Structure 1
Amino acid sequence: GGREIPCHRSVLALCSLYFNAMFTGDFVESISARVEIKEVEPVIMETLIDFAYTGKLTINQKNVEALIQSSKLLQFTTVQKVCTRYLQQQIDHTNCLGIYEFGEVYGCPEVKVKARSFLLENFEAVSQSEEFLQLESDRLLGCLGSELLQVQEEQSLVEAILRWVKYNEAERSRFLPELFQLVHLPLLTVEYMRDHLLHEKVIQECELCRSTIENYQEKTKAGTAVQRHLPCLKKLQEVLVVIGGRAMEESDDEEDEETPMLSRNAGFYNNMIRRWLLLPDFPDYNKWGFSVVALNNDVYVTGGSRGSTHDTWSTTQVWKFDSKEGVWVPIAPMLKPRTNHATAVLNGEIYAVGGIRAGITE
């Protein structure tokens, strides 16, 4: 299955640290007419050599993992970066677990982090996939025990556990007690526990699980159980975020340039508790025409205009509200200044579309 591919040492040495060291060091390959590479498939080696000559690379779902493995081995740094980015863009609920394993085995931390984040933020969808049923017990325990895990309803977490156990009940039923300890019973309805959970065969056969549910039911009847409305870190809550704006009275002229900006300019509405709450102020408050979008539970504010009605300029600036840290931080600016544009999220990336460019730019 081998193949001989003619090429120049100098070309390979420019693109690969591996070949650079081989051809400039005291190795037999530095003077040999032929170099045998056993660890790389011929078609992948040919792709890498084509890249070295042309700077062009064809990546698809069939070759991306082989390209990452080979470019990492041969130290084609640029190829590795491009392929790693491509692989991250392909992550969805059907493959994130496999991509996570790949990232761990082949030392791609950025791939591993992206896949794990996707898993924790889209657990309910991932739990419906075939890959989920193949998950190792330690991986599942680590996922369910994470404070970053998000589910719409605790019931979906229970159903995922049951589905995983039933897939190989003989081998996996022994993990059920440990998995069940990660379930928040106060977030399950009494009816679901009574009419469904206690009738599950695997629950009936697990003494700890069954007794835990029955004891909780007794406490509920006695009025001593933890109330269901208590917050849970795993409970995903959607909120409505509002940023910026001016404080105008009914009598104010809409064209009045002196209308003051809001003193507190960022907040959100939590539908679970039916209340408006304040966020840390958006730092770039004296600006309008910006666009707001959410990605991975963080809020991004892009572009917008500064100045007055008669002297306005658009900006490229982008701010991110880090929901974990609770702070606003500036990040990489847009390529072009934009005002009154639209932003949208697709495959984990933010796209800015349209808008106008007013006056001078930053």
Structure 2
Amino acid sequence: MSTSSSVYNELRLKKQLCDAVIRVDNAEFHAHKVILCNCSTYFRALFNRWSSPDNRLYEIPNVSAEVMKLVIEFAYTNFVPVTHENVQELFVTADRFNVMGIIEACSDFLEEQLTPHNCIGIWRFTDSYYYPEIKNKAFRFLLNHFEEVAATSEEFLLLSAQELCKIIESDQLIVKKEKTVFEAILRWVSDSTEERREHISLLLSKVRLALMPPEYVMKSVDDNEVMKSSEECRTLLRRAMENMLDIRTKDLSSSDFCHPLAHPRLPAAVLFAIGGWSGHSPTNRIEVYDVCADCWVEICDNELTPRAYHGTAFLNGSVYFVGGIDNIHQLSTVKRFDLDTHTWQEVAPMHSRRCYVCVTVLDGYIYAVGGHDGHNRLSTAERYKPRTNQWTLIASMNTQRSDACCTTLHGKMYICGGFNGNECLLTAESYIPETNQWTMIAAMGNRRSGIGVITYAGYVFAVGGFDGTTRLRTAEAYNPDTDTWSDMPSMVQRRSNFGIAVIDDRLFVVGGFNGFSTTVGVESYNIGADHWSYVPDMKISRSGLSCCVVYGLTNIAEYAAPRPSLHVSDME
């Protein structure tokens, strides 16, 4: 509270120089008109247009004395205590009086309280008031947590047909399987079958039926009396099956996204593949894999210096490009790309030049470990704190390593393999930030330089690489509970110096060098199916690239494959 505000509030409490009395439910609050006018356009109109200048007493109906007291105190102190008990009445009153500071405080409180069980209620509540920011945040939360909302929320069953349509037609609805949307509709209808059965054909028209197994759809229809008895529904599903067959017999590409039944929703996260060695020099090309559309999209941006054998990290809405080589020099520089504003910034450089560097994120810090400075393989490591824009040296590893790779699991960092200047390594070690200490762990079964290391399904996976003689297809997984490595299924293609990431519950390996040339090839491993399969190729071949997964963006559509606008009429 400023000094002047403190003085005004002291005068109010002592009822000195007050020129207004606000009466609510037989409670009276002495105040200064100019202070209330500064806080609210409602009071400005009340004092200047809706009453005579010499009026002092103002009766205000339909508001409790407790909330009016908070509004007046806010006018003087710019602070309001928002609680579960008062937030709804306080929001409504602040909206009525146009006290934007209280509306913002209530909105911040509601945003912090959002859960899958109350997000629909908050979305519907804020629909009645003109403050779209919290309404949009509640709606985005609902879309992002739809699977849990649809399965467990009692509020979900209270939605109107129009509200449910608005939710399920959104491209930004996050679901792993489209059948989740289909089953959510059936749950909603079955809660009040006779009243809601007339809406089922409209709701089904919003489902991406071509993304579901046709056998599952037909069995569901046979098992559901509402769908079987609706002529409109049967016609819609028959047309859907015809269209689905037509789509599945063609080579579906991004140009087919306009088909309403094949129109993929936006992904919750996308996979960035950045830079690398392509042809005879480093590149600055950035490609993004859209897991829902199953395709790569190129991001056009020429501000990144071409670099290879660098590290990449995603943190707080930005992608960081760390170290590497620009074809001439090993780099200590770090660039940050703000994904919201599409702007670049050079941040503090590392203490050392680091080509073939390992980069990961742990507890809000970016770690850069090992690498090659142009003269020596490094055992040193450092970490970056974005808030202070500062790199700090941490304890050195037990071994010099370039061409290694690192990941994090259960609050520890793990680094595996690499090259020490003389031989490819099979050793691995872990780092605990709290003790600033590296500890050797069990060695891998194979020597691996140019390795890919990632956390997946509770294990540390070590994939591919170069053993000093040949590029590898093999993979192994480390169990930190038993300090042991186990063999895993091998990749389809041999590769080293590739990108690696986990997205959509699958492990992806991207590009790399196969012993003869760089590759555009991408493949993924599903631990449930226990095998590797090919994914669409990147647009350019490259090795020495870096990958990271980007998530939580409100503008994810700007990095995903384009989705055309669709309407119900497209189904007809």
Q: Is structure 2 residue 378 aligned with structure 1 residue 357?
A: no
Q: Is structure 2 residue 32 aligned with structure 1 residue 19?
A: no
Q: Which of the numbers 258, 265, 272 marks the counterpart of 1:241? A: 272
Residue of structure 2 equivalent to 1:329:
342
Q: Is structure 2 residue 144 aligned with structure 1 residue 125?
A: no
Q: Does the 8 Å CA contact 1:149/1:234 hold for their aligned counterparts?
A: no
Q: Which residue identity does 2:70 align to in structure 1?
A: T
Give the Cα separation in 2 of the matches to 1:22 and 1:215: 61
* RMSD of equivalent CA atoms: 4.4
Between Structure 1 and Structure 2, whose CA radius of gyration is higher? 2
State the shift of 1:133 in Å. Answer: 0.8
Q: Which residue identity does 1:106 align to in structure 2?
A: Y
1:62-85 Cα deviation digits (max 9, x unpaired) = 322322221222232222233233
Q: Which of the numbers 89, 95, 103 marks the counterpart of 1:72? A: 95
Q: Is structure 2 residue 226 aligned with structure 1 residue 202?
A: yes
Structure 1 pair 302–109 and aligned structure 2 pair: CA distance change class (3 A) = farther
Residue of structure 2 equivalent to 1:144:
168
Give the Cα separation in 2 of the matches to 1:11 and 1:303: 51
Residue of structure 2 equivalent to 1:301:
319
Give the Cα separation in 1 of the matches to 2:95 and 2:362: 35
Give the Cα separation in 2 of the matches to 1:61 and 1:337: 43
Of the structure 1 ranges 58-67 and 281-290, higher mean CA displacement relative to structure 2 is found in 281-290
Q: Which residue identity does 1:35 align to in structure 2?
A: Y
State, as a whole percentage, how many aligned pairs show the same letter: 26
State the shift of 1:274 in Å. Answer: 7.3
Give the Cα separation in 1 of the matches to 2:190 and 2:85: 32
Q: Is structure 2 residue 188 aligned with structure 1 residue 158?
A: no
Residue aligned with 1:182, SS: coil
Q: Does the 8 Å CA contact 1:293/1:344 hold for their aligned counterparts?
A: no
Structure 1 pair 78–303 and aligned structure 2 pair: CA distance change class (3 A) = farther
Residue of structure 1 equivalent to 2:414:
none
Q: Is structure 2 residue 288 aligned with structure 1 residue 268?
A: yes
Unaligned runs of 5+ in 2: 1-24, 351-358, 365-384, 393-572
Structure with greater helix percent: 1
Q: Does the 8 Å CA contact 1:312/1:358 hold for their aligned counterparts?
A: no
Structure 1 pair 46–203 and aligned structure 2 pair: CA distance change class (3 A) = same
Residue of structure 2 equivalent to 1:324:
none
State the shift of 1:115 in Å. Answer: 2.5
Give the Cα separation in 1 of the matches to 2:92 and 2:165: 29
Give the Cα separation in 1 of the matches to 2:166 and 2:293: 30
Q: Which residue identity does 1:98 align to in structure 2?
A: G
Give the Cα separation in 1 of the matches to 2:133 and 2:314: 26
Give the Cα separation in 1 of the matches to 2:204 and 2:77: 56
1:154-185 Cα deviation digits (max 9, x unpaired) = 21111011111111111100111222222333
Structure 1 pair 338–289 and aligned structure 2 pair: CA distance change class (3 A) = farther
Q: State the number of aligned residues.
A: 325
Q: Does the 8 Å CA contact 2:288/2:299 hold for their aligned counterparts?
A: yes
Q: Which of the numbers 48, 57, 73 marks the counterpart of 2:80? A: 57
Residue aligned with 1:6, SS: strand
Q: Which of the numbers 84, 91, 97 marks the counterpart of 2:107? A: 84
Q: Is structure 2 residue 314 aligned with structure 1 residue 292?
A: yes
Q: Does the 8 Å CA contact 2:318/2:337 hold for their aligned counterparts?
A: yes
